[in-house]
A and B are shown apart, each in its own frame.
Chain A
Amino acid sequence: MKTDVLIIGGGLMGFSTALQLAQRGVKSVVVDKDSAGRHASGVNAGGLRQLNRHPAEIPLSVAAAEIWHDIKSLVDKNCDAKFPGQIRIAENEEDLQTLGQRAELVRNLGFQHEEMISREELYKLAPSLVSHCKGALICRNDGYARPFHALEAFRQKALSLGVKYLPSTRIDAIEHDSKGWRLSSAKGEFRAPVIVNCAGAWAGQVASTLGEPVPVKPGAPMLMITERLPHFIDPVFGAASRKLSFKQMQNGTLLIGGAHMAELNFQQHKTTMNWAKLAVSARTVLALFPQLKDVRIVRTWAGIEAFMPDNLPVISRSKNYSDAFHAFGFSAHGFQLSPVVGIIISQLILDDHTNFNIDPFSINRFDSF
């Protein structure tokens, strides 16, 4: 099969890139060794968060937020996106100081999306929050979406614009010759002048094949979801000095994360819950919302994601080939960035440059690896 751009990995980054290319008239094929959104893209917590991003990611995240607020015009569906804000709670004076400094840092970079709120305003937003909190950092136009629905919307839109998608198609070999790239799989051979590596936790294998190994590590952050409860809270909650991500979804269930890791058998794609860490997660939630102690947990799970040592993604042209590109290693916070990543990669391919500063995300930063 021949195409203009071959994209390895049928997650959000892959389909977002394919969608942008298609809108500019460029054909692409997305191949996936499993099914679309099987790993990080489909089963993450769905956070649309600009709050507390690494400074290098802020411009991308702010641009992505604008797209998410009008996501329907891009993918025809609203992806169940909601924007009730995201909050980081300060529980003591030290937390207040940390968060205050953060707000100042963001302002000094020329952005306005993060601000401190008073104790009074915090309790107006979260009347049921335990009473000792002092204030919070907020990003009012942050929110969340349903990840698999978003993935599906991106995929369907891409397909409607002529993108080809092949699930259960693992790339076994990648070769480069005078005519461009040749990739082989059990389902047949692909030829394309350009390839994009959006293979998530498996992207390291692709990078190594291109002769540019990166220290990407697979990890499986655990999530749990509860039974449905009457609506009691709107914003997404985190805390300055606790591992927590906590929100009440549109249907009333509570989604609880905290970046605690499951045990992972990467070869078998198998995760085993670490109950000791999930117990910590439950204690964290109850420390802030003690009235939730009798709420039933319905399900726990962990999706496989790609983590980088500096927790920054690789969004980059290949080190060794001018016609290969990378977008992976989002270290469990890529969901929100996905619309912008598609734009950046398509610009790199078609315009040879992008307006975003992507130097911090270059694959060359691992030269010593």
Chain B
Amino acid sequence: MKNHYSLVIIGAGPAGMSAAVEAANHGIDVALLDEQEVPGGQIYRAMESIPPERAKLLGSEYLHGEKLVTELRNASIDYFPGTQVWSLNEKLEIGLLHHDKTAMISADQVILANGAIERPVPFPGWTLPGVMNAGAGQILLKSHGIVPKDGVVLAGSGPLLLLLAWQYHHAGVKIKALLDLTPMQNHLRALPHLPRALLAGHYLSKGMAYKKDLKQAGIGTLHNVSNLVARGQSKLDTISFKHSGQIHSIETDLLLIHFGVIPHTQLSRAAGCQHQWNPSQQCWTPGLNKWGSSSINRILIAGDGAGIGGARTAEHAGRLAAFQALYKLGKITRTERKQLARKDRKWMREERHIRPFLEAFFHIPEKLLKVPDDNTLVCRCEEVTAGEIRSAVHAGHSDSNQVKFLTRCGMGPCQGRQCAEAVSHIIADANGDNKPQELYRGRAPVTPLTLGQLASLFPEEQE
């Protein structure tokens, strides 16, 4: 690893891979850092090693990634898998951990392509062992073919829920229930966006096909579900929920939940990039120009980390960011940048047809985001409840950082990854604001770093 590169790309999903290939093909020195051991990101996980049977189950959207992975392998890129980036700052210094070796490198341009995380939504019992994110369930399926053997309840809102139910069903998993927490009003909310969505009708018809398939197998979706509660002493044994005015309960030792995905902004926040509230996606997204440049000039952001757009959009955005980096590095002219970007821009527009519809259809009820029950744990690291956060607000602490200072929420090892969003909603609600509070200030290290690893940096530096 050199200690300086013209371009450092963080994340080897669709955005990072396409950016890296494009930049390398223009002859600049590129480092690609990724925490996984193989390229593909979350969406194209384990692409090179997956058995054909399982790949078929994952479908054509998954297989699309094969070409990108092959291109990446053939391009001249300093690719560092197994690398955690624990710090990025406005000087474009990148603190990383590569197979247990600590380093700090710098770059002329950085493309952040670190994707999305599942939206954490605290509800009573969400911290019990046995309650997991649907995304984690899908990772086990993709990487290792592991499926739950005693059946599963799936609950939440979002296309992944349906997809995973379908994949599990075809892998022989018993689906005990599929609970859709999306309120009925969302159908009305989404209706105006339907005509445009029909332009990308293949996404819609795929969703309908999954649903029909499941229904034929006797797995119906319960819609308009609310009051989801997970119960158990030391681990999950029962869930309960409200449907058609009645409380139901189901025995299960596994509940997979999903409330959509949001940009993973820990690094962009730690670097100090500006972010803004996106009401349609109900999350904070970095403020970017049309080339992906953030408020910190030389940091570009592409893919779901810039706002949720899906894998195909990410691939195009990755290339646009690469063109921008090449332009800034003096490798291509302004006119070349425009010409090169033309196709990606067109495809991106087409990909985006479906988004407003999806965002409206799977709009998470505000009530759920505000964690109505005072006893629900919000910060699982420091065990802070929604009620404690509301008390802090009532004592006059009106922003996320002050509430964090007072209650310790967000101060644990996950650095607020699990609670930042919920805390910002709770505070805004208690303040009577309709826009959520800004998230906690980002603080390095955003991924674990030991004292020994830090101590190995800059050995020549003296007190």
Q: Are A297 and B454 in contact (CB under 8 A)?
A: yes
A170 within 8 A of B: no
B89 within 8 A of A: yes
Give complex CA distance A294, B455 in Å.
11
A176 within 8 A of B: no
B201 within 8 A of A: no
Shortest Cβ distance from B416 into chain A, in angstroms? 10
User: Contact partner of A282 among B87, B89, B90, B451, CB < 8 A?
Assistant: B451
Given A38-B402, A276-B458, A286-B452, list of 15 further CB < 8 A pairs? A35-B399, A35-B402, A36-B402, A273-B87, A273-B89, A275-B454, A275-B457, A276-B457, A277-B461, A279-B454, A279-B455, A279-B456, A279-B457, A297-B451, A299-B443
CB within 8 Å of B: which A3-41 residues: 35-38
B405 within 8 A of A: yes
A72 within 8 A of B: no
A242 within 8 A of B: yes
A285 within 8 A of B: yes
Binds A, one of B219-227, B281-289, B313-321, B406-414: B406-414
With A35-B402, A148-B406, A149-B406 as given contacts, are A297 and B450 in contact (CB-CB < 8 Å)? yes
Residues of A within 8 A of B395 (CB): 152, 156
Tell me what chain A mostly uses at the interface: helix, strand, loop, or mixed. mixed
Q: Could you write out 8 A-B pairs with CB less than 8 Å apart? A: A42-B405, A272-B90, A272-B91, A275-B87, A275-B454, A278-B454, A286-B451, A293-B455
With A270-B272, A279-B457 as given contacts, are A226 and B87 in contact (CB-CB < 8 Å)? no
Residues of A within 8 A of B406 (CB): 148-149, 152
Residues of B within 8 A of A (CB): 87, 89-91, 93, 95, 104, 272, 395-399, 402, 405-406, 411-413, 415, 443-445, 448-452, 454-458, 461-463
Shortest Cβ distance from B439 into chain A, in angstroms? 15
Q: Are B461 and A276 in contact (CB under 8 A)?
A: yes
- 10 residue pairs, one from A and one from B, having the closest CB atoms: A293-B452, A282-B455, A148-B405, A276-B458, A279-B457, A282-B454, A276-B461, A283-B455, A296-B448, A299-B443
Residues of B within 8 A of A172 (CB): none
CB within 8 Å of B: which A257-301 residues: 270, 272-273, 275-280, 282-286, 292-301
Q: Which residue of A lies closest to B405 (CB)?
A: A148
Residues of B within 8 A of A283 (CB): 455
Residues of B within 8 A of A121 (CB): none
Give complex CA distance A272, B452 in Å.
21
Give complex CA distance A283, B455 in Å.
5
Q: Which residue of B lies closest to A265 (CB)?
A: B90
Q: Which residue of B lies closest to A268 (CB)?
A: B272
- Identify the interface centre among B93, B396, B463: most chain A CB within 10 Å of its CB: B463
A227 within 8 A of B: yes
With A42-B405, A299-B443 as given contacts, are A275 and B104 in contact (CB-CB < 8 Å)? yes
A243 within 8 A of B: yes
Shortest Cβ distance from A40 into chain B, in angstroms? 13
Shortest Cβ distance from A36 into chain B, in angstroms? 8
Residues of B within 8 A of A284 (CB): 463
